[in-house]
Amino acid sequence: MTTLGFVGLGAMGSRIATRLLAAGYPVRGTNRTAAKGTSLVVDHGLIWCSTPREAAETADVVFTMVRDDEALEAVATGPDGILAGLRAGSIWVDMSTVSPAKSRELAERVRAVGAELLDAPVSGSLPAAEDGTLAIMVGGSEAAFAQVEPILQELGACVTWIGENGQALLMKLAVNISLAEQMFAFSEGVLLAERGGIDRALAVNILTSSVVGSPMLKTRGPFVLDLPEQALFDVDLMRKDLHLALDAADSLGVPIPAAAVAKQLFTAASAMGYADRDMAVIYEVLAEMAGE
């Protein structure tokens, strides 16, 4: 059976690796913080590796799920990096949300060793990763995609090849600016209703049941009543993605003014101490700005 490597066993990566192990794939993995991999080793049979290079050396397909461009570069390069361990013919599937430019640049370096890099960012939160219902967008060689598609089907309900390297990441950023703007607008509406004397829970129910009640808002809208302790998508991740989207839009000459305003709000939320909270905390940020 295809041997897999996995680098980045955080909240999302660990859930994806668990599904791959449950599907019967041998998985060799590593993480910057080793403690995050303990339960995967003990309970699910992950083979622990001390470095990204070791995870990649014997893998037919190596997966990564890290936070940003800097983290991706860190696991890719150096004597212990993935590039040092890749073999000709192997495939690297990067599921991180990073800049399209960074992914394209890294794809060139991967091709230089005779391997292929696919950018495969996901849309969906932790529960979707657990039950295999993520939406996965893939950019890169269509032939390489065809080889890994059966593996990705274990992880996502919708797996779609988008185009060349970087295109899937651009599509993911297009999705995420809409998530941020929807949460922003929804929070404004709830706050306006509440400050006008309408019960907050009633306002949430009416808005999520109305024509603006997207699937995302039906899930996350109630969080303005009871914010979860564990973020499904934290403020700093969204702030990072809005920054990436604005950079991409600037390079393409595309105006995205609503995303620019949303980034300002998420930056304020981070400065106010909400960096690690779910993005639904934007309601609290607006309420604090409005005062008593």
DSSP type of residue 217? H
211 burial class (0-12, 13-18, 19+ CB within 10 angstroms)?
A: exposed
DSSP type of residue 46? P
Residue type, 122: V
For residue 194, how many other CB atoms are within 10 A of its CB? 19
Residue closest to 122 by CA, chosen among 258, 15, 196, 38: 15
CA distance 158 to 123: 10
pLDDT in tens, 21-31: 999 999 999 99
Mark whether 218 is an active-site residue: no
pLDDT in tens, 76-115: 999 999 999 999 999 999 999 999 999 999 999 999 999 9
Of 164, 187, 222, which residue is a domain's last? 164
Q: What is the CATH number of the domain that holds 258?
A: 1.10.1040.10
CA distance 271 to 188: 20
19: tokens are 């599904």
- Whether the predicted pLDDT of 290 surpasses 90: yes
Q: What is the pLDDT of residue 292?
A: 62
Question: Is the Cα torsion angle 232, 238, 240, 244 positive or negative in sign?
Answer: positive
Domain count, the chain: 2
CA distance 227 to 154: 30
> Does residue 253 sit in helix, strand or coil?
coil
CA angle (59, 63, 64) in 5-degree steps: 135
Q: What is the CATH number of the domain that holds 30?
A: 3.40.50.720
Distances (CA, A) of 20 to 4, 29, 80, 252: 9, 11, 24, 37
Residue 222: give the domain boundaries.
170-290
Number of residues assigned to the chain = 292
Share of the chain above pLDDT 90, in %: 97
Do 183 and 204 fall into the same domain? yes
Do 17 and 160 fall into the same domain? yes
CA distance 192 to 198: 9
DSSP type of residue 255? -
Do 179 and 220 fall into the same domain? yes
Do 153 and 34 fall into the same domain? yes
pLDDT in tens, 23-78: 999 999 999 999 889 999 999 999 999 999 999 999 999 999 999 999 999 999 99
- Whether the predicted pLDDT of 257 surpasses 70: yes
Active-site residue among 172, 218, 240, 263?
172
Of 113, 132, 164, which residue is a domain's last? 164
